[in-house]
Chain A
Amino acid sequence: MSASPEPLSARATSRTEDRLFTVDLAGPWRLDQDTPRWATTLGPVAPAGVSLRADGVTHWDTSLVAFLGEAQRWCAEAGIACDVSLLPEKMRRLSSQFEGSMQTCGKDPHSTSLVVEVGLSTRYLGRQARTFLGFVGDFWIDTTRIVSGRAGIRWRDCLSEAQKCGAMALPIVSLISFLVGVTLAYSGSIVLKRFGGEIWVADLIGVAMTREMGALMAAIVLSGRTGAAFAAEIGSMKVNEEIDALATLGISPVRFLVVPRVLALGLMMPLLAIYANCLGILGGMAVAYANLDIPPAAYWVEMLTIVTLPDVAVGLIKAVVFGLIVGLSGCLRGLESDRNASGVGSAATSAVVTAILLIIVADAIFAVLFNALGM
C-alpha cells in the first residue's frame, strides 16, 4: 500500500520518450464518476509504441477495463506495439477481452434494404391473408359442428362472456348513444329550422339511429371495450402456454376459446343495438322538447310515419355482422400475438384497428347492398 493519500478522481497522465507513449493510470476508477478516455488522453500525438501502467490505481472496475481495451484496440488498428506487461494479470485478461468484444460487436440483423423490406412486407401480407382465411374457416367448421351437435361448447363460458360484453357494457353504450342522439338533433335542427320543418328532426333521428348509428356506435364501443379485451386475454394465455396446453390435449383453441366469445358477441350486439336505438331516440326527443318545443308525443307519432320494421331489421342485420367482426378480430389478434409483453399490447391495439376498419368496410358494402335491394 502506498503511503500517499488517495487522489479524488481517476487520472491518466502521459509522457512521450523516444516516441514511446507511456500512460500512468492512477486513482479510483469508478463507472459512475467521470474517468479519462483513451481518445482524449492520446490527443494529437502519433507514437511508435504505447506502454500502459496502472501502479497508482486504488480501485477499479469496468471503466478502467474500457480505457485499456480501447487503447489496445487503437494500437491494433494503428499497427503499433502496446506494452501491457506491467499491468496486473487480471487487468490484462479483462482488457484483452474488452478489445476482443469491440472487434466481434455484431451487426444489426434488422436493417435491410428497401427492396428486401418491400419483399418481406408483401410476403407478410400474404401470410396474414392466409391466416385470416384459415381462422375464419376454422371458426365456421367448429361452429357448424357445434350447431349440428357433433361437438360440445362450454355454455357457461358463453354466458359469462355474454354478460361481460352485453350487460356490463350498458352504461357506456347508454351514454354514448344518448349523446349521439343529442348531437344529431342539434345539427339536424340547424338545417331544418330554415325550412320551418323542425318536426322532421324526429324522422332524421329515427332513421339515422335505427338504420345506422345504433349498430355502428355499439360496435365501435365494443371493439374498444371487448375486442381489445379478447385480444389481451388470449394473448396472455399464449404467453403462459395455455393455448399450447389446449393444443397438446387435442382441444381446438378456436372451439374452446373463440366460438363462445364470438357467439356471445354475435348474440349481444343486436340487443345492444336495439338499446342504443332507444337511447339515441330518447336523446333526440329531449333536444326536440327542450329546444324546439316539440312535445314527445308529437315526436313519437312523426317518427313512426317514416321508421318501419325493415329499417330496424337493417340495423339488426348490421349489428350481428359487426358483432362477429369485433369478436373474430379480437380473437384472431390474440391468437397471433407474440409471446411477450409488448406482443400482447400490440395484439390489443391491432384488434381495435382491424375491427373498426372492417366495420366501416362492411357498413359501406351494406349501404350498396340494401340500396340495390330497395331496403
Chain B
Amino acid sequence: MSAVPAIEATGLQCNYDDNVILADVTFSVRPAEIFFIIGGSGCGKTTLLRNLVGLERPVRGEVRFNGRSFTGADTASRREMLKTFGMLFQSGALWSSLTLAENVGLPLEEYTRLPPDEVRNIAAFKLAQVGLAGFEEHYPSEISGGMRKRAGLARALALDPAIVFFDEPSAGLDPVTARNLDELIVQVRDTFGTTIVIVSHDVDSISGIADRLIMLDRDQHGIIAAGRPAELLKDPPSPKLVEFLTRRTIHPV
C-alpha cells in the first residue's frame, strides 16, 4: 500500500517504573481507520496509549505520525503535532473549574486566533454534535458521567484533529449510551476522515466498529494478534483472542 500510515510504531519498549510492560511492539494504523488496542487487564493497553500520545517516553523504539517522527521531534514540532491529536480520557478529564463551553473552547483559544464569539459558536456546535446542546454553561460537576464523556469527546474534537485517541470510551457507561458513543465515533470518522485509536475491552464495540485491532498480552509483553476482527476469529493466531472475543474460558483458571 502506498499511503503513508497515520501512525507507525516500531520496536517500542514501554516501562512502568523499572518493570518492562511492553518489550517490542510494532504496528501501524492506516488513515481514517478505526483501530482497537485490546487485551486483558494489566497487559499494557493504557501504557501503550500514553506512550503514543507522548505522556510517557518509550524506552526504545519510535512513533511516527503521517511519516514524521514524534519520539525524536523537538519541542516546537511536538507541539505542532500534538495539535493534530485529540484524546478522550477514561473519566472525560474535564477541567472542573470551567464550563463545558470553556472546556471545549480552551484548545481553540490556545491554538487559533479566532475571535471569542466564534470560539463560543464552535464550542456550542461541537457540544451539539455530541448531543449536549443547551448545556454550554453547565459545569462538569452538574452533569452525568455519560455526558461528561461526551463533553470530553467534544473537547477532543475541538481542533478537528487528524487522530483521536480513546482510553476505554465505554467504561462506566450503560450499554445503550456506550453504543451511542460508538455511533458517534463512526460518524466522526465518516465526516472528517479522522483516524481513531481506541483502547478497550468492550467486546460489543470491537465487533461492532473495529476495522482492525491488535491484542496485547501480559505474559508475552507484546502483540499476540493483529488484523481484522472477523478474519482473526476465523483463523485465530492465539486461543487467548478467541477467549477474549467470545467471552468464553477455554483454559480453566
Contact = CB atoms under 8 A, between A and B. Distances in A.
Answer yes or no: do A and B interact: yes
Interface of A: 31-32, 34, 37, 61-63, 65-66, 69-70, 90, 94, 97-98, 100-102, 104-110, 338-343
A106 B125 contact: no
A104 B125 contact: no
B168 interface: no
Contacts of A34: 113
Interface in B96-140: 96-97, 108, 111-115, 118, 120-122, 124-129, 133-138, 140
A108 B122 CA distance: 17
Most central of A94, A100, A109 by chain B CB within 10 Å: A109
A105 B127 CA distance: 10
B137 A106 contact: yes
B16 interface: no
Nearest to B84: A32
A109 B141 contact: no
Nearest to B141: A340
Contacts of A65: 125
Contacts of B199: none
Nearest to A107: B137
A100 B137 contact: no
- By Cβ-Cβ distance, the 10 closest A-B pairs, closest first, are A101-B128, A106-B134, A61-B160, A108-B137, A340-B96, A104-B133, A101-B125, A105-B124, A98-B125, A101-B124
B121 A69 contact: yes
Given A32-B159, A104-B133, A341 B96 contact: yes
A340 B140 contact: yes
Given A32-B83, A342-B96, A97 B129 contact: yes
27 contacts: A31-B108, A32-B83, A34-B113, A61-B160, A62-B125, A66-B121, A70-B121, A90-B191, A97-B128, A97-B129, A98-B125, A100-B133, A101-B125, A101-B127, A101-B128, A101-B133, A102-B124, A102-B125, A104-B134, A105-B120, A105-B133, A106-B137, A106-B138, A109-B137, A340-B140, A342-B96, A342-B97
Most central of A31, A100, A340 by chain B CB within 10 Å: A31
Interface in B166-205: 191-192
A66 B128 CA distance: 13
A90 B192 CA distance: 10
Contacts of A102: 121, 124-125
Contacts of A70: 121
A349 to B, nearest CB: 14
A97 B140 contact: no
Contacts of A63: 114
A104 B124 CA distance: 9
A94 B121 contact: no
B125 A66 contact: yes
A339 B112 CA distance: 33
Contact of B111 (A32, A37, A61, A110): A32
Nearest to A38: B118
Contact of B191 (A94, A100, A106): A94
Interface string B27-52: 00000000000000000000000000
B112 A69 contact: no
B219 to A, nearest CB: 30
Contact of A66 (B122, B134, B137, B138): B122
B151 to A, nearest CB: 13
A106 B136 contact: yes
Nearest to B126: A62
B163 to A, nearest CB: 14
